[in-house]
Structure 1
Amino acid sequence: MNEAGFRTAPIQAAEPLIELRDVGKTYGGAVPVEVLRGISLAIYPGEFVAIMGASGSGKSTLMNILGCLDRPSRGQYRFAGRDVSEFGRDELARLRRDEFGFVFQSYNLIAAATAMENVEVPAIYAGLVPEERRARSAELLGRLGLEERLDHRPNQLSGGQQQRVSIARALMNGGRIILADEPTGALDTRSGADVMALLASLADGGHTVILITHDKEVAQHARRLIEIRDGRIVSDTGPEPRRTTGGPALPAPHGGSAQTSLLDESAEAAKMAVRALRSNIFRTVLTLLGIMIGVASVVAMLAVGEGAKQQVAQRIGSLGSNLLMIRPGAPNERTGEGGTIATLIPDDADAIVQEIPNVIAAVPERSGSVTLRLGNRDYQTTASATSPDLPTVRNWPVQSGSFFTREDQDAQATVAVLGQTVAKNLFGESDPLGSFVLVKNVPFQVVGVMSPKGASPGGGDQDDTIIVPITSGGLRLFGERFVRMITVAAEDVGQIAQTEADIRTILTKRHGREDFQIRNMASFIEAVNATQQTLSILLASIASISLLVGGIGIMNIMLMSVTERTREIGIRMATGASTRNILQQFLTEAVVVAAFGGTFGVMLGFAAGFAIQAAGLPLQFTLSPVLMAFGCAVLTGVVFGFAPALKAARLDPVAALSAE
């Protein structure tokens, strides 16, 4: 007789597989509830045990402790001689994966997975490669009479068939111990009898079967009967005498010939993620929209910013980054539109070229509004009087004919070169070379036509001009020899600051005072580029707000997914999923959503960009912003998916399985 007063059979000499010593379980709260009260129990390999009791007797709590889904509040649980209290979460997960197989009353199958996929779940966490998993799953289902139902989902199977799938899953990794919780409770009489016969055959084949039931008739199928009431064992027929059994009817794979790599694990997690997301496609699409809009905004806005930057750079670059612009007037004076400050003359340009070694050319310029006449047609434009070095300094080649020469300048020849706009407006499709055009009633012969230059940085049309020698223009058109600007081209941009200082010294010496201003175009271009860079960052920051909103959407959907799939998480934990497995699963789902959203967002960004380009705005797609936007989308999935994934990984298996 034991302490509870019931008879026990002599204990076998073999070491118990499962041993409980004075185990108790109390659930906390405002009023603590003691569910198990000093349970002591030994179960030996190969036994078929039924634990019977009414609702509320503690039998389900006992099963959860036996199956390492829950921990006792006190006492000791030893498995194969080891104290289970010393096991961490992941060690318990491995124990459930390798040693236990659970058969639940409500089947606890994953609704979105097929029969084969449900059976494969434990093997996924055991590390079997897909080919071995599928072969093993098909074999088990075939032996259980479900060879025609391999690709059916749970809602396409009867209750008995679902329970057989549950049993096959329990045996996937070997299932040395089968824990069956009310396995016939949801079945009709015939299906229930079939399931009990199957469990009996598993016990005969060498499995240790522990049956939890309230039905005495079902319990009679077992060879050992334990009755529990009010958290105590009130009767135990005791361990059955040792007997010789055959090998397991359904042999355990235990490890298989090949184990999955990290890449295989990630691929499997991605596959399960896609399946889970597909099960609620509408909500997934709404979440994708947030990421798509964010990525598309980043791609399109950065392309617009880069296009604007390139356009401005091209316009400024047409002036040259190695240029120094000298204008008349002291630094505190400004040149007015009504006249010219008479401080710069063409001889100043000659002195700069002759005396400063880093200077390629110095081009004096004097411009003003003029009226051109060809036949009976008048045209208002700008005349620019300059030197023959203009095409070199401004990087502005002649398209047809030639530019005037230094001999033309010295001879004060009345020759002219037309910009594209003037040539088209005066001559249309005719060749203007050799023709004479009246400029302020002075005939000038056209000797060349410049190539298209486009708009200036200030927005004016650089092609709407007629260019004449500085001597001819000063004498015949403007009536003065002073110039409005001297453009200096430096040979080495790295020494342009020294060149600027040398020019200042020479002109101050020539004029007796500093009555001029120098603008360094290299510094100007740097300032413009810095401004454009700032604008690009601003545009990207604004677009990133959409990405942030998309990330919040991912967190929302993942938190909802964890809540809705709590029972599935419990199933995975019961079948051997470790903390890392669950964390990887839900984090992968977040990354998959973000990756899909990023991919479609990039496509949408290109489409939006081409639409903007069609509207006439400058656009420049580069690889870096695209990769950055996609990378940020994936990173958003990782960051915002981590908290929900961690929440899922930290769920208690028992609480997860009992969730509705």
Structure 2
Amino acid sequence: MATPLLRLRNIRKQYSQGDAFLEVLKGVDVDIYAGEFVAIMGASGSGKSTLMNILGCLDRPSSGTYEFAGQEVSHLKDDELAWLRREAFGFVFQSYHLIAASNASENVEIPAVYAGLPAAKRRERAQQLLTRLGLGDRLYHTPSELSGGQQQRVSIARALMNGGSIILADEPTGALDSQSSQEVMVLLSELADEGHTVILITHDAQVAQHAERVIEFKDGMIINDTGHNKNKQTPLPPKLLNLKSAASSKSVSVLVESLEAISMALRSLKENWFRTVLTLLGIVIGVGSVVAMLAIGQGAKDDVLERFSSMGTNLLVVQPGADRFARRSADGGMTSLLPEDVPVLAQLANVKAAVPESTTGVTARAGGLDTTTRVNATSADYPMLRDWLPQEGVFFSHEDNDRYAAVAVIGQSVARELFPQGGPVGEFVLLNNIPFQILGVMSEQGATPWGQDADDIIFIPLSTGSLRVSGNRYVDRITVAVFDTASIEQTEEALRQALVQQHNGNEDFRVRNMASIVASATAANNTLTILLGSIAAISLLVGGIGVMNIMLVSVTERTREVGIRMATGARTRNILQQFLVEAVVVSILGGIIGVLGGLGVAALIGAWLMPVTFSIPIMVLAFACAAGTGLVFGFTPALKAARLDPVIALSS
């Protein structure tokens, strides 16, 4: 006698109920041969559906042996069982088990998706099967638009999609009217005549009469078997004769699987668009916040650095006053730096220029207008030191300083206040009632790093200021420019020693290194940027938690769909991919919208409130974080879906 297609020996199945066990199958022995039309008949609760689940590799027995074409099934891994369900079995369920969001053609195509059949070929085959079963005009109707009989025919077409060598029909007529029941049974009989092995589970004796062999089931045991027709033998497809080899062969590339997973994910997200929007919102807010906050932080940092850079980063600023040697003049100013110190510093190695400055507040008048401003008495090297040149006219010269000339160069703010009609060059301005001729107007500078208006100032020669404006021979500071900033610290030390010697051993001054100040400002702004980014990242984290919550809800709602996909041959990784890809796709869409939204918000802030700086690496990082968020927070729900028990999932 030929080897049975399906051989069960002493199959038992137990379920735990608290501290007790319920035994549903009690030592079942049965052989089913290829090409048979077998009806397993029994009352509800007799265990026949549990037997079908074990036969179809949806469930495992508690004990006993199950052989498929002479090969032990219990030795197969989960993905190998999935291959067997996909390539050997076709399921027809009482409740149809169609995916509600998919049309008839898409439902029929599901087994071929996991078999790796190209989209065009599986669509063509699905249409051929549906047309053969009388549903050619219902290809694109969803299950809710089909009658019970039509849905069951869709289920049969799905069972035949990958060949359906073995059709397992669990109460296929239980939910149908008599006419539809008769049509379904005729279809199953035709499939048996074509060589398919048909195993029918039913409680109806009239339905069982369509089968060639009837196995009666009661209380988990076979009580009667009409026997096998020894004259009927149907050869099995070669691929089913070596399960281990065929199941382990990789017929579908990772790329194809990924593309199919993306396609299914987009379809699912479209069907649940409102929930998708809510999920997107968390990611959009998180990514948008990161992009906007970091753009603001980087803009503030660049603005401060630009202001410091405009003042010069190659500068050493010498100011009077050290605690032990502090002396003050009658007006409260510090008295330690003199104009005579300037030539001493100017001759040091690596010194480009040494410029004294003495600042005094004055009232300036011209043409019947007046303004309170600052006068900076300095030398002719000031424009070169600060890289700040006149926009109109010229700056005063060394000769002007030597002859105590009453000349001035004014800033843009002063020019607007005193000469609103323009043309200040050549005019006179009164500084504390002393007339000064205007030689030039400085270019626009803007605010200093500490918020002062750099253009609200008037420059005059140091000698003239000491004699005619402030009456003070001391200077407020001496600014030294160096050639090589790499050696600025050595120059600072040389400057310190020269001044100590010039001041008879007294270190009655302080030296500020502008390069170190810029470095400190950069560090402070980096800290601020990190703080802003961290606050925004919290939003992204909250969005990720939202993704996880929504995906967990989605898994719960779609448990039955997961069971259907597993019954039609989905591997563990297919289910994992589908839900994981859904989470990643949502996050990527949210990342794209979030980046665009963040750019828009930052642009508005930059246009109305404060400077911002857009950074492509930051945008890429935010987008990558969004995708990573979907991957990390979507993994747990996806893993939960992949680990579902097919039988439990189907009964959900």
Q: Which amino acid aligns with 1:21?
A: R
> Does the CA contact (< 8 Å) of 1:200 and 1:221 recur in 2?
yes
CA separation in 1, counterparts of 2:482 and 2:231? 103
Aligned to 2:192, which of 180, 203, 206?
Answer: 203
Moved more, 604-613 or 583-592: 604-613
Comparing 495-504 and 142-151, the one that deviates more: 142-151
Instruction: Show the counterpart of 1:5.
Output: none
Q: Percent identity?
A: 59
| TM superposition score normalised by structure 2 | 0.95
Structure 2 residue 93 is matched with structure 1 residue 67: no
Aligned to 1:444: 436
Q: Does 2:446 match 1:463?
A: no
Paired position in structure 1 for 2:243: none
Of 628-637 and 108-117, the range deviating more from structure 2 = 628-637
Contact 1:417 1:446 in 2 (8 A): yes
Whether contact under 8 Å (1:205, 1:247) holds in the other structure is: no
> Which sections of structure 2, spanning at least 5 residues, go unmatched?
238-245
Number of the residue aligned with 2:23: 34
1:76 Cα deviation (Å)? 0.2
Alignment partner of 2:102 out of 93, 113, 127: 113
State the match for 1:330 in structure 2.
322
Give me the whole-angstrom Cα distance separating, in 2, the residues matched to 1:620 and 1:107: 58
Greater CA drift, 204-213 or 607-616 = 607-616
Distance 1:280 1:247 in 2: 43
The reply on whether 1:167 has 2:159 as its aligned counterpart is no
Distance of 2:326 and 2:411 partners within structure 1? 29
User: Residues 220-260 of structure 1, C-alpha deviation per residue, up to 9 Å, x if partnerless?
Assistant: 11111111111111111111123376999xxxxx99xx965
Between the aligned partners of 1:314 and 1:334, the Cα distance in structure 2 is 34
Residues 333, 29 of structure 1: alpha-carbon distance in 2 compared, 3 angstrom cutoff:
farther
For residues 115-135 of structure 1, the C-alpha deviation after alignment (integer angstroms, 9 at most, x for no partner) is: 111111111111112122212
Q: Is the 8 A contact 2:133 2:153 kept in 1?
A: yes
Q: 1:307 aligns with which of 299, 307, 326?
A: 299
Secondary structure, counterpart of 2:340 in structure 1? helix
C-alpha separation in 1, matches of 2:604 and 2:355: 43
Equivalent residue for 1:588? 581
Aligned to 1:8: none
Task: Supply the AA of the counterpart residue of 1:139.
Answer: Q
Residue 213 of structure 2 corresponds to which residue in structure 1? Answer: 224
**TM alignment of 1:468-617, pairs within 5 A:** 468-512=460-504, 513-617=506-610
Compute the displacement of 1:193 (Å). 1.1
Moved more, 286-295 or 644-653: 286-295
1:561-610 Cα deviation digits (max 9, x unpaired): 11111111000001111111111111111111211222222222223223
- Distance in 1 (alpha carbons) for counterparts of 2:88 and 2:342: 95
Alignment of structure 1 residues 396-411 onto 2, 5 Å: 396-411=388-403
The letter for the 2-side match of 1:19 is R
Q: Which stretch has the larger CA shift, 153-162 or 472-481?
A: 472-481
2:92 to 99, 103, 106: 103
1:48-68 Cα distance to aligned partner (Å, 9 max, x none) = 111111001110000000000
Q: Does the residue aligned with 2:479 lie in a helix, a strand or coil?
A: strand
Structure 1 CA distance, aligned partners of 2:225 and 2:4?
16
Of 606, 612, 616 in structure 2, the residue corresponding to residue 623 of structure 1 is: 616
Q: Which of 13, 20, 23 in structure 1 is aligned with 2:8?
A: 20
* Structure 2 Cα separation of the partners of residues 213 and 184 of structure 1: 8
SS at match of 1:56: coil
* Structure 1 residue 335: Cα displacement: 9.0
Tell me how far apart the structure 1 counterparts of residues 459 and 328 of structure 2 sit (CA, whole Å): 22
Task: Tell me, in whole angstroms, the C-alpha distance in 1 between the residues paired with 2:578 and 2:550.
Answer: 14
**Structure 1 SS opposite 2:61:** coil
> In structure 2, what is the Cα distance between the partners aligned to 1:180 and 1:635?
43
SS at match of 2:441: strand
CA distance in 2, matches of 1:179, 1:17: 14
The residue type equivalent to 1:367 in the other structure is T
Q: Which moved more, 1:584-593 or 1:611-620?
A: 611-620
Instruction: Check conservation: 2:34, 2:234, Cα contact below 8 A.
Output: no
- The structural deviation recorded for 1:490 is 1.4
Partner-residue secondary structure (3-state), 1:25:
strand
Residue correspondence of structure 1 range 365-404 to structure 2 within 5 A: 365-404=357-396
TM-score (norm 1): 0.94
| Alpha-carbon displacement from aligned partner over 1:88-128 (angstroms, at most 9, x marks no partner) | 11111111111111011100000011111111111111111
- Shift in alpha-carbon separation, 1:77–1:427, aligned structure 2, 3 A: same
In 2, Cα distance between the equivalents of 1:365 and 1:339? 17
Residue 264 of structure 1, CA deviation: 2.8
Distance 2:403 2:340 in 1: 16
Matched, 1:453 2:441: no
> Which amino acid in the other structure matches residue 501 of structure 2?
K
Query: What is aligned with 2:352?
Result: 360
Deviates more, 1:19-28 or 1:627-636: 627-636
- What is the CA–CA distance in structure 2 between the aligned matches of 1:260 and 1:429, rounded to whole Å? 80
Deviation at 1:478, TM superposition (A): 1.4
* Contact map agreement 1:39 1:233 (CA 8 A) in 2: yes
| Structure 2 CA distance for partners of 1:306 and 1:195, relative to 1, 3 Å | same
Change over 3 Å in CA distance of 1:518–1:246 after alignment to 2: closer
**Whole-angstrom CA distance in 2 between matches of 1:365 and 1:246:** 105
Contact 2:319 2:509 in 1 (8 A): yes
Give, as a single letter, the amino acid of the residue that structure 2 aligns with 1:97: R
C-alpha contact 1:204 1:245 (8 A) present in aligned 2: no
Kindly indicate whether the alpha-carbon contact (under 8 Å) linking 1:331 and 1:517 is maintained by their aligned counterparts in 2: no
SS at match of 1:148: helix
Residues in 2 aligned to 1:129 and 1:331: alpha-carbon distance in whole angstroms: 85
Return the alpha-carbon distance in structure 1 between the equivalents of residues 342 and 119 of structure 2. Answer: 81
2:76 corresponds, among 67, 87, 94, to 87
Instruction: Indicate if the aligned counterparts of 1:102 and 1:178 stay in contact, CA closer than 8 A.
Output: yes
Q: Distance in 2 between matches of 1:327 and 1:308?
A: 28
CA RMSD of aligned residues (A): 1.9
- Counterpart contact for 2:408–2:458, Cα < 8 Å: yes
1:138 paired with 2:94, answer no
* C-alpha distance in 2 between matches for 1:247 and 1:342: 108
The CA deviation at 1:166 is 0.7
